[in-house]
Structure 1
Amino acid sequence: MSIWYNHVRTRIRLKALVDNYRLIRTRATNPAPVIKSDAYGHGLPEAAAALFAAGARTMAAGTVGEAAVLKDTVPEVEVISLLGPLDTADYACVCERDIVAFVGSTEQLLLLEEAARLAGTTVRVALKFDTGMARLGFAVDEAAGVADTLDGLEHVRATMACSHLATADDPGQAEYAQEQGGRFARILKALHARGLDVRASLANSGAIFGHPALHHDLQRPGIALYGANPFHGTPWEAKGHGLQPAMQVSSRLVQIRTIPAGQSVSYGRTFTAPAEMRIGIVAVGYADNYSRGLSAKAQMLIHGKRVPVLGRVCMQLTAVDLSHVPEAAAGDEIFMLGGAGPAAISAEELAGWWGTITYEVFCLLGQNPREYVD
């Protein structure tokens, strides 16, 4: 949480998070929940504690700093840092806190060796290979060279080999996911031939539900944990059925007014009332991470009914059309995400209006004050 000055409330249902984890366990034999970026806006300490209680014994954070917080929260858990060490303090922290760090360069291995020597310990690493994302990681043909480097190190032990899929959530690009899987298999063969007994991890949420052949030893569910179907809107949508949203976000109506025909609403006069109409002013705006890009596109939910956003979203206020909700009154709760009943606003819908993905919806709206309802 970083926003403290508003009337927006983000409510997290930890039971839904746990139920999603249990559903994932019916598809994957050894899922390690990914709770990076403050658990995608759901709260790292709270999510970690709930998942540990549900049986998770390996979890992944993003930065080394996040991994240290995760280790403080659930000391018994094997903690992975997906970004790995990026500066001097990170290298020392990995050694001190027994964090399994992703490493994708020889320089990182050598710096970890020195840090571990100074700390008088041995560190475990996950070898990160780039099989098609073109981000971090060793190249596919570097596997033998990585093994050579590890042979010369006394304080670094490789326990995992990992990569990341670029298109696992896109049925139209399933072939590319399989190509990455083939490259990863060749890497594992090379490492095993050199005597490296490493666990393999490739599958993200999309692969867990859509590519069982790519599961390997450890799976890394992320977005599915939080209730978003990785195949929403695709021919594979049914593969992700059963996931429950864990986040809902609401604010309140601060004023209701009736405006005459011809009256424009908000900055830029992008909306003009075609007839006399009843509008509500909601205490939410782009300062609360409710994007200005939602202007005249999004809907909110009040008393179980959808109401459209009128005109431009402002810094801390947004107008909605209450013409068909006569029971609405100032002070009423109004939902930007979630809500009760069949008209509840899904993260996928909100992301569509926003022009983004559910990941960003959760990460940004989750920075508002949070409450845990179960």
Structure 2
Amino acid sequence: MTIGYNTLEVEVDLNAIRHNYRLLRDKGSRVYGVVKADAYGHGLIEVARALEEEGADTFAVGTVGEGMQLRKSGCSKRIISLLGPLNEEDCFNAAQNKIIPFIGEFEQLEMLSAVVSAQGRKVEISLKFDTGMSRLGFSVNELDKLIEWLKINPQICPVLASSHLATSDDPAYEGYMSAQAETFSGILKRLADAGYELEASLANSAGILVHDQVHYSAQRGGIALYGSNPLLGTEWSESGRDLKPAMQVRTNIAAVRELKKGQAISYGCTYTADRDMTVAIVCAGYADGYSRGLSSTGEVCIHGKRAKILGRVCMQLCIVDVSHIEGVKFGDTAYLLGGEGEGHISAEDLAGWWQTITYEIFCLLGMNPRTYKK
């Protein structure tokens, strides 16, 4: 995003992403680089290039359009589209750009078949199966019909099979994950018996880190690539302790004000000073993807110390208490994510205040202008 109202600057450490990829690869085998949603807000093209330098040979994007963007950047490696084609244009573009679409519906198969048949070509696909997520994918009950359809439509060439784990990051649901793996193994066997020996992918980041039994022939490295430990807070958290955060988000202080005891501040007068205070007006608000839900809850890092948000977060501003921080002035840096010293803000800290998950933090804040450490 380059619209002129942005005041936030996102810094992405590509070396951290490289480190995290190596860690996942050491625990797994053939690890796809999941770069969907603009690489979780870290930058599709830049992240893919960094991962390619580390030996990644497969990239998982969200949409076919995102795959085209990656292909046009010069990427010659294998690209898979997790959502697959949603219209005929997607089908045409996937075939033209050698993007392997995930297919989990017969309607998608028929649409893709019609488009590529009209072009007189074949197309490689990944078959998507629902093993317990109840979201996308062919069911076990549809497998016989699917095999029959594939036999009479040789222009559609399955080369991959995949499914998605619902609970791989939760020890309390390890049995559910094992049941998904058992279902997936049964699907693979039936496909193999029908003549389709496919590369198989089930493990996500948590699966790579702690569940060897679901690794199969390939794994999908997602949130862990960006330094967020999907196992944090569980008995498995140590397995992700060496991941390095890749994103910092900073902005500037627009003003420093004295707030008298009994004086209210920001919209709605939801905060009234209980003492004389010094406050800083920080250039960050919901227009920048910094949630209004952080009102009177979140914190930022200034001069290595935490400063709590007072009152409501505004469209482009929020107010923080800097009474305990010396020397704060106009133009100083405030870190919404990252920073130095004891005041460092982790993605997990921010997600907790925000009442969300780190995925959303990265995707929303990553829409702001980015710089890169290489």
Q: Is 1:96–1:119's contact at 8 Å kept on the other side of the alignment?
A: no
Residues 113, 154 of structure 1: 8 Å contact kept? no
Contact 1:48 1:74 in 2 (8 A): no
Distance 1:22 1:74, change over 3 A: farther
Q: Is the 8 A contact 1:49 1:74 kept in 2?
A: no
Q: How many equivalent residue pairs?
A: 374
Fraction of identical pairs, as percent? 48
Alpha-carbon distance in structure 2 between the residues aligned to 1:165 and 1:55: 25
CA distance in 1 between counterparts of 2:328 and 2:74 reads 44
User: 1:44-68: per-residue Cα shift (whole Å, max 9, x none)?
Assistant: 0111111111111111000010111
Could you tell me whether the CA contact under 8 Å between 2:305 and 2:341 is conserved in 1?
no
Q: Which residue of 2 aligns with 1:229?
A: 229
Structure 2 CA distance for partners of 1:4 and 1:190, relative to 1, 3 Å: farther
Which residue does 1:30 correspond to in 2?
A: 30
Report the AA paired with residue 319 of structure 1.
I
Corresponding residue number in structure 2 for 1:105: 105
Counterpart CA distance in 1 for 2:106 and 2:277 is 66
| Structure 1 residue ranges without an equivalent (≥5) | none
Q: Please give the root-mean-square deviation of Cα atoms over the aligned residues, in Å.
A: 1.1
Give the secondary-structure state (helix, strand or coil) at the position aligned to 1:335: strand
Report matched runs for 1:63-78 at 5 Å: 63-78=63-78
**Distance in 2 separating the partners of 1:3 and 1:243:** 32
Deviation at 1:2, TM superposition (A): 5.9
How far apart are residue 110 of structure 1 and its match?
A: 2.1
Residue deviations 1:89-125, cap 9 Å, x none?
A: 0010111111111001222222222211222221101
1:40 and 2:40 aligned = yes
- Partner amino acid, structure 2, of 1:371: T
CA distance in 1, matches of 2:218, 2:141: 23
Alignment-derived partner of residue 320 in structure 1: 320
Structure 2, gaps ≥5 residues long: none
Counterpart residue type for residue 263 of structure 2: Q
Look up the match of 2:125.
Answer: 125
Q: How far off its partner does 1:75 sit?
A: 3.0
**1:142 Cα deviation from its structure 2 partner:** 1.8
Measured after TM superposition, the shift of residue 74 of structure 1 is 4.1
TM-score, normalised to structure 2, is 0.98
The answer to whether structure 1 residue 12 and structure 2 residue 15 are counterparts is no
SS of aligned partner of 1:334:
strand
In the aligned structure 2, how far is the partner of 1:338 from the partner of 1:20?
17
The match for 1:333 is 333
Q: What amino acid maps onto 1:313 in structure 2?
A: V
> How far apart, CA to CA, are the structure 2 residues paired with 1:196 and 1:138?
16
Distance in 2 between the 1:102 and 1:47 partners? 22
Supply the distance in 1 between the matched residues of 2:219 and 2:18 (Cα, whole angstroms): 16
Q: Deviations over 1:172-215 (max 9, x none)?
A: 11111111111111111111110101111100011111211001
Aligned counterparts of 2:151 and 2:140: Cα–Cα separation in 1? 19
Q: Who is 1:248 aligned against? A: 248
Report the counterpart of residue 268 of structure 1 in structure 2: 268
CA drift at 1:267: 1.1
Partner of 1:364: 364
Aligned-partner residue type, residue 287 of structure 1: A
Secondary structure at the counterpart of residue 32 of structure 1: strand
Q: What is the identity, as a one-letter code, of the residue corresponding to 1:126? A: S
